[in-house]
Structure 1
Amino acid sequence: MDIQTILKTHKPSLTPYERVYKNLHQNPGLSLQEHLAAQTAASHLSSLGYEVRTSIGGTGLIGILANGPGKTVLLRADTDALPVEELTGLEYASKKKEVDVEDGVEKHVMHACGHDMHVSVMMAVAETLIKSKGEWKGTVVCLFQPNEERAVGAKAMIADGLYDEKKHACPIPDVVLGQHVMPLPAGHVGTRVGSFASAADSFRVTIYGRGGHASQPHRTIDPVLMAAHIVVRLQTIVSREVDPREAAVVTVGSVVAGMTENIIPGEATIKINVRTVTPETRIRVLAAIKRIVKAECEASGATKDPLWIPTSSFPFTINHQETTETIAAAFSKHFGDKHDPESAPLGGSEDFSILATEVPNKSGGKGVPYCYWSFGGSDPEKYEEARNRGRLEDVPINHSAYFAPVIQPTMGTGVDAMVVAALSFLN
């Protein structure tokens, strides 16, 4: 039986999974607090007959389906939400607030990156694969990963003994697969050999001046002005120091200083985010940022050196050629012209690859092949209308307060894509 027939015969009704999606969307959990998503996934996998292991690196879990000799394929879905106030106006929109365990601050919470769709899709994939197990051989691992948004969930699962025989004993995969819903037309999927997601590095930098009365600036060292010079100067790195054929982004997302207008504060804090797609550019850009911050502080007469605190670091996502070509061929057969084998790289970053690069392999080292792809979640008609008007920026993107995939055909496409990819190695 071929993959298309397996899907027609064994893919379940998605109506129950649509209800799961809406419930998860209404009740999101911040990073490290993904309890509902984890409980929902674990209960479902157990009910299907998967061997379930929970509390891996926080709320992470795996469901194992051993089905005879063959390859082991690990499928990954992430589960956490974001501190965003939802503005979609949907009947199932999140109105939730919760205290973030990271800083103790109460925040609005929203699944603004589509991880609720990832969870719902993976649950349907798990049912499809167990119902069709008479048609394939091998082992499937459905992995639900927490804390992706802060770039530490995959690391935490590895550190907690995900692949350790004496701890969680996840079967060693031959290949690791993952996907992400993106602001592309629903029903479409995109693959790409090689670089697919950028590395991301974030820092909190505190610069030090000397505070005082706003009427006597000559007796102070103004960190606000210092920060302003740094912010402007950082924008020259990409335009003047990065090869125009390369891609890089330097963003200052937060500048905090002072409490009132008539006091020059003693310090300012800048939060910087960097995206790069090659190791060489990453090294160059990070070095330039540190050089500029140091030089501007010295030029302003700062009272001491800036304090650098790394806040997150995402690795590169570089799809394995043979693995990706295998999946791309299967996608082209299944999706036809709705599959783009030369899809543009993601604008964001991912910690997905760590689940593959940290796998103990047969040669005594680490690392197995992996592939990560995208599937669309935007209303196709609205997407096409925006494109015709030259206004694709009007299509809500991931992390936007307006981002909410149309449930269908997004969910059906995600299920098909993951099943087709998995069976390409199991069938």
Structure 2
Amino acid sequence: MRVVRNVILAAAMTSMAMPAAADPLADAVRADMPALLALYRDFHRNPELSFQEKQTAARLAAEIRKSGFQVTEGVGGTGVVAVMKNGPGPVLMIRADMDALPVHEQTGLAYASSAKALTPDGLETPVMHACGHDIHMTAWIGTARRLVAMKDRWSGTLVMIGQPAEELGLGAKRMLDDGLFTRFPKPGHVLALHDSASLPAGTIGYSPGYALANVDSVDVTVKGLGGHGSAPHTTRDPIVLASRIVSALQTLVAREIDPQKPGVVTVGSFHAGAKHNIIPDEARLQLTVRSYDEETRKTLLDGIARIVRGEAMAAGIADDRLPEVKLEETPTPSTFNTEPLTGQVAAAFAERFGKDRVKQIPPTMAGEDFGRFYLADRTIQSMIFWVGGVPQDKWDAAGGDARKLPSLHSPYWAPHPEPTIATGVEAMVTAALTVLAKD
């Protein structure tokens, strides 16, 4: 028994002394982090608004060209398309979005943005990467470098795109309209990642099926008959009518949509009048409408038009003064994560990172034009996933309650770059190899 015990003890001590199994991908990403962090800080300091991403696109093109890709610039305005053929196999497209937001950064970071730009209306505004597109671009470059270094592990064609104007919901459409799927190899699979302000840094979130929502913008102009505030009986008050419309719109989701199907109707702007004692001629409402499936979307939009008209008629507005309802010409469509790709990639994530770092999460009502690539051809397999960016100490201080933390688009949003970028690169390489791995 003593001999057996000594053998077991010796084996245990040998096992404890052995180094952890090597992880070439993690080691390579770790070695590349100083360069990637420098690139990230440069992107963060120098943000550009939608369709103004000239310097950003040039930097992306230069960086990925160094890795041996064939690069085309100016696709869909400022878009970048980089292609690498590596034998027979699937065509995989990986997207990063490039644009920033008209937000005044208040993070206090040493590399905070002080950039300013002109909006399409000619107004000067501060600019910030408040949605993390600088993280996306950096992880995109890191992914390209790793996949080039691992060419012996995969076969097929890799198409890497830098997309403009995601924040306007127009960049993907512009690139498609400019021949993204005809001038370049047409993908059978498309992938993207997005940083998350609702997950701790280093974790991954994914949503099978619908991941992000349809986004429709609706402008309503309510017409009335103005007059003196002391004599409301001589007027048709558009403020009162618009208020009735705002209240009635809330019944659309509450009473006309299947409770198991999400929907949102939010009135984000209500403008009317200029003085205490004047009843104005009109009031203007601006709405955002969110849904996932087309049936719910149609119910909401048709309901808005019906309620607006009905409330105006009930208020005695003449036919030639009925409200005008205007829909945005190019709404953002919902984003759908397809199977089997989503399940395959999620399983690969769990194997690499462990189940504790990979979480299936509910879809969000935010919008993303990444869904356009799948909608352009529904034979394409598509997935977007989330990479947590919340610094661990801030996550712990908030008790894991994301409502106590800065959200995306906040002037205070500052993801923890090292674990967010490193996890993003490892995850995207893992997802790419799931599609392109050699048999």
| Post-superposition offset of 1:243 | 2.3
Alignment partner of 1:368 out of 380, 401, 418: 380
Paired position in structure 2 for 1:399 = 409
Paired position in structure 2 for 1:279 = 294
Alignment partner of 2:55 out of 33, 36, 43: 36
CA distance in 2 between partners of 1:110 and 1:217 (Å): 46
| Post-superposition offset of 1:38 | 1.0
**Secondary structure at 1:377 match in 2:** strand
CA distance in 1 between partners of 2:270 and 2:22 (Å): 52
Paired position in structure 1 for 2:41 = 22
Q: Are residues 1:121 and 2:136 paired?
A: no
Q: Which amino acid aligns with 2:323?
A: P
CA distance in 2 between partners of 1:424 and 1:272 (Å): 41
In structure 2, the CA distance between the partners of 1:3 and 1:415, relative to structure 1 (3 Å rule), is: farther
Taking structure 1 as the reference length, the TM-score comes to: 0.91
Paired position in structure 2 for 1:420 = 430
| Cα deviations by residue, 1:280-309 (Å, 9 ceiling, x for unpaired) | 222222222221111222223345232222
In structure 2, the CA distance between the partners of 1:209 and 1:335, relative to structure 1 (3 Å rule), is: same
Alignment partner of 2:393 out of 381, 393, 398: 381
In structure 2, the CA distance between the partners of 1:176 and 1:268, relative to structure 1 (3 Å rule), is: same
In structure 2, the CA distance between the partners of 1:306 and 1:12, relative to structure 1 (3 Å rule), is: farther
**Secondary structure at 2:276 match in 1:** coil
CA distance in 1 between partners of 2:304 and 2:399 (Å): 36
Name which of structure 1's ranges 370-379 and 251-260 shifts more when overlaid on structure 2: 251-260
In structure 2, the CA distance between the partners of 1:416 and 1:10, relative to structure 1 (3 Å rule), is: closer
Q: Are residues 1:146 and 2:146 paired?
A: no
Alignment partner of 2:92 out of 65, 70, 73: 73
Paired position in structure 1 for 2:196 = 182
| Cα deviations by residue, 1:293-335 (Å, 9 ceiling, x for unpaired) | 1122222334523222223512122211111111011101111
Alignment partner of 2:371 out of 326, 329, 353: 353
**Secondary structure at 2:192 match in 1:** strand
Contact 1:212 1:265 in 2 (8 A): yes
Name which of structure 1's ranges 236-245 and 44-53 shifts more when overlaid on structure 2: 236-245
In structure 2, the CA distance between the partners of 1:189 and 1:3, relative to structure 1 (3 Å rule), is: farther
Paired position in structure 2 for 1:288 = 303
Q: Are residues 1:305 and 2:322 paired?
A: yes
CA distance in 2 between partners of 1:271 and 1:317 (Å): 24
| Cα deviations by residue, 1:58-107 (Å, 9 ceiling, x for unpaired) | 11111111111121110011111122222222222223332112x33332
Q: Which amino acid aligns with 2:195?
A: V
Q: Are residues 1:98 and 2:117 paired?
A: yes
Q: Are residues 1:47 and 2:102 paired?
A: no
CA distance in 1 between partners of 2:325 and 2:48 (Å): 29
Identity of aligned residues (%): 40
In structure 2, the CA distance between the partners of 1:123 and 1:284, relative to structure 1 (3 Å rule), is: same
Paired position in structure 2 for 1:362 = none
In structure 2, the CA distance between the partners of 1:253 and 1:18, relative to structure 1 (3 Å rule), is: same
CA distance in 2 between partners of 1:3 and 1:425 (Å): 24
| Post-superposition offset of 1:33 | 1.4
Name which of structure 1's ranges 246-255 and 12-21 shifts more when overlaid on structure 2: 12-21
Where do 1:87-236 residues align within 5 Å? 87-101=106-120, 103-164=121-182, 169-183=183-197, 184-236=199-251
Taking structure 2 as the reference length, the TM-score comes to: 0.88
Q: Which amino acid aligns with 2:292?
A: V
In structure 2, the CA distance between the partners of 1:397 and 1:254, relative to structure 1 (3 Å rule), is: same
Q: Which amino acid aligns with 1:174?
A: G
| Post-superposition offset of 1:339 | 3.9
CA distance in 2 between partners of 1:367 and 1:293 (Å): 39
Q: Which amino acid aligns with 1:285?
A: L
Contact 1:10 1:132 in 2 (8 A): no
CA distance in 2 between partners of 1:299 and 1:93 (Å): 53
In structure 2, the CA distance between the partners of 1:95 and 1:221, relative to structure 1 (3 Å rule), is: farther
Paired position in structure 1 for 2:420 = 410
| Post-superposition offset of 1:23 | 2.1
Please tell me the root mean square deviation across aligned C-alpha atoms, in Å.
2.1
Q: Which consecutive unaligned segments of at least 5 residues does structure 2 have?
A: 1-20
Q: Which amino acid aligns with 2:242?
A: A
Q: Which consecutive unaligned segments of at least 5 residues does structure 1 have?
A: 360-365
Paired position in structure 2 for 1:323 = 341
| Post-superposition offset of 1:12 | 4.9
Paired position in structure 2 for 1:60 = 79
Name which of structure 1's ranges 237-246 and 176-185 shifts more when overlaid on structure 2: 237-246
